[in-house]
């Protein structure tokens, strides 16, 4: 019985001896042990690892009067390390260092402080996601719902996006009307932007910005998407019976949304071009007691993108003759106005013209003027006329004007 007790006691003593030797021999990494007598070595405070593009930012605070001379950061299971030298100070010190050239993935970082005697602190552990090309490949640009271009004003309306992707906004780069490049930023909360100095016939580029986490130190970008906005199909306004008038006196008025020059206004109180007869029709009329019209014009300007077009003018009836002096014409021209009657056949800005002739009320006629536009341009359409003031006079009753695609 005594032999058995002695044998058991020997086993217990042996077990604890082996365990102690095992503890001493298993510390094979390069961190300094934090033995009980060394626990006074101050730890790094406010230790953090913030994610970035193939890098992280390590930050922390060295306590005041801590006698710390070095901070070592370990990662990849201590296969990699970076040391930061620290000077002694009576005040707290903020340290920050980048760990660069990291592949995408999650990393665990360990921080240990070392004092002037070579003693190490208890190790602190923190983790951070690192983002790289695999993450960037999942990003996509914000969708554009509509582009609306009107001369130098561009309005862009963007579609929605999944906010959990970290998208924060859109960067738009464009050329202004003075030929200078400008960049504007549109936060993700806004889906619409208006640019008031956009260069006509130019393109703009845009990209979307992402911050994958609240503590990310880097902003990620999609590739630029380039877009050349174009105006909508050119559409005339107030261009068919019953035409609207901005001013009326008796039978005659001034056409709303059209430019009517002074020579046309030969009727009551300076009116003309809008005729109450025949269901509020478009009619430049002279004679029958009204004076002649010399170089009168009624026109409207629209913006057209490159393409093939035709102006269709539906005429109810007309008594113009091709032998009349001066004459009356339907015209399409580049720019913001129409040429004079005397220059209509030679003016370089004229895209197409056709002289107005006699049309019987019993046989209405549609004039078709075909033309091309090579670049985004202002084009002006309408009627120009020089017509006598005799009796019978001259008139042309017009049902409608319409620009159509010439297919």
Confidence check: pLDDT of 167 > 80: yes
In a domain, 80, yes or no: yes
pLDDT at 13: 32
If asked whether residues 257 and 400 sit together in one domain, one would say: yes
If asked whether residues 113 and 160 sit together in one domain, one would say: no
Confidence check: pLDDT of 390 > 70: yes
pLDDT at 279: 96
283-301 pLDDT, tens digit each: 999 999 999 999 999 999 9
If asked whether residues 148 and 118 sit together in one domain, one would say: no
In a domain, 236, yes or no: no
If asked whether residues 398 and 250 sit together in one domain, one would say: yes
pLDDT at 94: 95
258: tokens are 């059209």
Higher pLDDT, 317 or 27: 317
Q: What is the mean pLDDT of residues 174-186?
A: 97
If asked whether residues 102 and 208 sit together in one domain, one would say: no
How far apart CA 365 and CA 348 sit, in angstroms, is 28
pLDDT at 407: 83
Give the CATH number for residue 103: 2.60.40.10
Give me the residues paired with residue 386 across strands. 327
How far apart CA 217 and CA 221 sit, in angstroms, is 13
Under a CB-based contact definition with an 8 Å cutoff, are residues 324 and 394 in contact? yes
Confidence check: pLDDT of 303 > 50: yes
In a domain, 165, yes or no: yes
Lowest mean pLDDT segment, chosen from 17-21, 166-170, 215-219:
17-21
Give me the residues paired with residue 115 across strands. 68
If asked whether residues 316 and 369 sit together in one domain, one would say: yes
Q: How many domains does the chain have?
A: 3
The string over 23-52, giving b where at least 16 C-beta atoms fall within 10 Å of a residue's C-beta and e elsewhere, is eeeeeeeebbebeeebeebbbbeebbbbbb
Confidence check: pLDDT of 162 > 80: yes
Q: What is the mean pLDDT of residues 159-177?
A: 96
1-58 pLDDT, tens digit each: 333 333 333 333 333 333 333 332 323 344 444 444 445 799 999 999 999 999 999 9
If asked whether residues 97 and 188 sit together in one domain, one would say: no
Query: With the C-alpha atoms ordered 97, 102, 106, 112, is the resulting torsion angle positive or negative?
Result: negative
If asked whether residues 342 and 261 sit together in one domain, one would say: yes
pLDDT at 389: 96
Lowest mean pLDDT segment, chosen from 26-40, 118-132, 252-266, 337-351:
26-40
Give the CATH number for residue 290: 2.60.120.260
Q: Which of 104, 94, 56 is nearest to 216 (CA)?
A: 56
How far apart CA 402 and CA 180 sit, in angstroms, is 37
State whether residue 14 is helix, strand or coil.
helix
In a domain, 155, yes or no: yes
If asked whether residues 178 and 218 sit together in one domain, one would say: yes
In a domain, 11, yes or no: no
Total-model pTM: 0.71
Q: For residue 392, is the peptide bond before it cis, meaning its omega torsion is within 30 degrees of 0?
A: yes
Helices (H), 299-389: none
If asked whether residues 289 and 201 sit together in one domain, one would say: no
Q: Could you give the percent of the chain with pLDDT greater than 70?
A: 90
In a domain, 4, yes or no: no
The string over 373-398, giving b where at least 16 C-beta atoms fall within 10 Å of a residue's C-beta and e elsewhere, is beebbbbbbbbbbbbbbeeebbbbbb
If asked whether residues 286 and 393 sit together in one domain, one would say: yes
Task: Write down which residue in 130, 155, 190 finishes a domain.
Answer: 130
Computed over every residue of the chain, the mean pLDDT equals 90
In a domain, 45, yes or no: yes
If asked whether residues 267 and 372 sit together in one domain, one would say: yes
In a domain, 322, yes or no: yes
Task: Write down which residue in 227, 255, 276 finishes a domain.
Answer: 227
How far apart CA 141 and CA 224 sit, in angstroms, is 8
Show the domain range for 281.
245-405
Task: Write down which residue in 130, 161, 186 finishes a domain.
Answer: 130
């Amino acid at each position: 019985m005594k032999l058995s007790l002695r044998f058991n006691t020997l086993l217990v003593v042996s077990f604890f001896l082996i365990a102690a030797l095992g503890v001493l021999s298993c510390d094979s990494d390069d961190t300094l042990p934090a033995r009980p007598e060394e626990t006074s070595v101050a730890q790094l405070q406010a230790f953090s690892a913030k994610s970035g593009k193939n890098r992280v930012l390590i930050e922390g605070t060295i306590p005041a009067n801590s006698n710390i001379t070095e901070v070592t950061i370990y990662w990849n299971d201590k296969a990699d390390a970076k040391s930061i030298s620290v000077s002694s100070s009576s005040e707290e010190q903020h340290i920050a260092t980048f760990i660069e050239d990291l592949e995408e993935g999650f990393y665990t970082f360990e921080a240990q402080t070392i004092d002037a005697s070579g003693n190490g602190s208890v190790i602190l552990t923190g983790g951070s996601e690192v983002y790289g090309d695999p993450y960037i490949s999942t990003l996509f640009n914000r969708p554009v719902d509509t582009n609306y271009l009107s001369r130098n004003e561009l309005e862009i309306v963007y579609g929605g996006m999944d906010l959990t992707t970290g998208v924060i906004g859109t960067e738009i780069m464009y050329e202004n009307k003075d030929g200078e490049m400008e960049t504007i930023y549109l936060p993700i909360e806004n889906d619409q932007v208006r640019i008031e100095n956009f260069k006509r016939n130019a393109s703009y580029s845009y990209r979307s910005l992402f911050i994958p986490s609240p503590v990310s130190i880097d902003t990620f970008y999609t590739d630029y998407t380039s877009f050349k906005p174009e105006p909508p199909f050119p559409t005339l306004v107030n261009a068919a019976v019953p035409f609207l008038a901005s001013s009326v006196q008796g039978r005659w008025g001034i056409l709303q949304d059209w430019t009517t020059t002074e020579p046309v206004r030969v009727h009551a109180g300076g009116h003309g071009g809008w005729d109450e007869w025949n269901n509020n029709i478009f009619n430049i009329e002279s004679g029958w007691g009204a004076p002649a019209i010399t170089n009168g014009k009624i026109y409207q300007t629209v913006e057209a993108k490159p393409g093939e077009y035709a102006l269709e003018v539906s005429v109810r009836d007309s008594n113009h003759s091709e032998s009349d002096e001066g004459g009356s014409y339907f015209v399409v021209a580049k720019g913001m106005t129409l040429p004079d009657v005397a220059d209509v056949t030679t003016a370089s800005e004229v895209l197409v013209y056709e002289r107005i002739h006699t049309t019987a009320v019993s046989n209405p006629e549609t004039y078709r003027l075909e033309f091309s536009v090579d670049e985004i341009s202002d084009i002006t359409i309408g009627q120009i006329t020089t017509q006598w003031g005799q009796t019978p006079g001259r008139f042309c009753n017009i049902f409608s004007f319409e620009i159509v695609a010439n297919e």
